[in-house]
Homo-oligomer: A and B are copies of this chain.
Amino acid sequence: MATNRSNVHGSEPDTVAGNGLLHRRMFLTVGTAAAAAAAGAALPNPAAADALSVEPWMKLPGSGFVGYGQPSKYEEKVVRTWNTAPGTTGTGAARTPHHLLDGMITPNGVHFERSHSGIPDINPDTHRLLIHGLVKRPLVFTLESLGRYPRESRVAFLECGGNGQLLYQKEPAPVGVQAIHGLVSCAEWTGVKLSVLLQEAGVDPKAKWILAEGADAAGMSRSIPVAKAMDDALIALYQNGERVRPSNGYPMRLLLPGYEGNMHVKWLRRIKLTEGPTMTKDETSKYTITLPDGKSLQFVLPQEGKSVITQPSPGLTMKGPGLYEISGLAWSGYGRVTKVEVSADGGKSWALAALQLPVLSKALTRFRMPWRWNGGPAVLQSRATDDTGYIQPTRDKMIASRGDRTIYHANAITTWAVSEKGEVKHVYA
């Protein structure tokens, strides 16, 4: 690791941790030498004249208006990728390409999806939502009648309980952030608070759980504590401003901020108030955490604190030494991210990343850290802490507490190794 030695903490004014991590102030102070040198990424002056050449697209009028726009044709690689599980059409999961995105909002076109029997083609005019079971008065809502109730918006992440499951494998999967952590996304959701509807129905004090059922062919169903339903649960009707997408539950889905993804039941058709959990197939045969001794944890509901570096990451080859931004996403189902630390030397030293404001509870949080790569090997990691004090564990610690017989709630630190060629690989460290 001789190549790293020149860049350990203190060797350069703005260094904040080993192997080239830099303080953000170098970009905030006008006229510093560091800022002037900056990335050194701008092209040399002689190229300036070229930039003034009139490109072909300036020589003729461009295209006209369309009702609903699409990304540039040059961005056709920015798409979800999927695997299909045994079962009917569309059984499986399609993953968000986080290595090609930035910010905290996931665009609707590439929000992850997990379907158990494909995407139902629901006519919103005939779709109904029933609230029944242990209530004073069963209620039925049309989309139109729901639209008369007061709404709320909130930015919230959604993460499949199985996201990150490759981290349970004995050997590091030779893949990137989309394959490993692509089952988390974040949107601004708008809808009606479930508590308002439950109040109208009149909940029997004996009811401690609800059953939420989807209108897909799998009848995907989960049990949810009434306390969560009365707290911040939303019947989501809009996603990033427009109606919820078919793959995300059109015309309505449950939103349970911070909770395991499949509990946010899509294509929501029925909520039944019950004394205990219903023990559906989706919370018994699946979505339980099997421990080394063969026993399983059931109803592990919030997704734990977690983070991952999205740039650089596998598939994004670095082109020569110099300044880069290390950037990634952090989140916690327990609340707000308070701190993300980044290491470029495999966890030997850490530095605080900048958190992009606003930092919202149970939403993705973008973190950023300037890094001067010296062209030598580097081992990149990030570690999130939330406002309950929960700290994202190392992989060793996660395996020590849960074993490797499960595929759920994998929130360990993910490690990317950068080679001298600038290639980035998934490794264990």
- Which residues does A use to contact B, with CB under 8 Å? 24, 27, 30-31, 35-39, 41-43, 45, 47-48, 50-52, 55, 57-75, 78-82, 84, 88-90, 92, 94, 100-111, 113, 115, 117-124, 126-130, 132, 137-142, 144-146, 148-153, 187-190, 193, 195-197, 199-200, 202, 215-217, 219, 230, 237-238, 240-243, 245-247, 250-251, 269-270, 319, 322-325, 327, 356, 358, 360, 366, 368, 370
Contacts and interface: CB of A to CB of B under 8 A. Distances in A.
Given A103-B188, A105-B105, 9 more contacts: A30-B195, A42-B197, A47-B140, A51-B270, A57-B120, A70-B245, A72-B245, A148-B324, A151-B368
The residue among A109, A219, A358 with the most chain B CB atoms within 10 A of its own CB is A109
B141 A43 contact: yes
11 contacts: A42-B139, A45-B138, A59-B217, A68-B78, A70-B109, A74-B123, A103-B188, A105-B187, A150-B368, A152-B356, A152-B368
A196 B153 CA distance: 34
Contacts of A80: 65-69
B71 A242 contact: yes
B370 A57 contact: no
A216 B68 CA distance: 21
> What are the nearest 7 A-B pairs in CB distance?
A62-B118, A67-B79, A61-B88, A57-B120, A51-B130, A51-B128, A41-B145
A150 B325 contact: yes
A147 to B, nearest CB: 8
B51 A238 contact: no
Contacts of A64: 84, 89-90, 118-119
A20 to B, nearest CB: 14
Contacts of A65: 80, 82, 84, 90, 92, 94, 113, 115, 247
Contacts of A325: 148-151
B71 A245 contact: yes
A241 B62 contact: no
A360 B216 CA distance: 38
Contacts of A50: 128, 140
A322 to B, nearest CB: 7
A238 B103 contact: yes
Contacts of A94: 65-67
A67 B112 CA distance: 10
Contacts of A68: 70-71, 78-80, 109-110
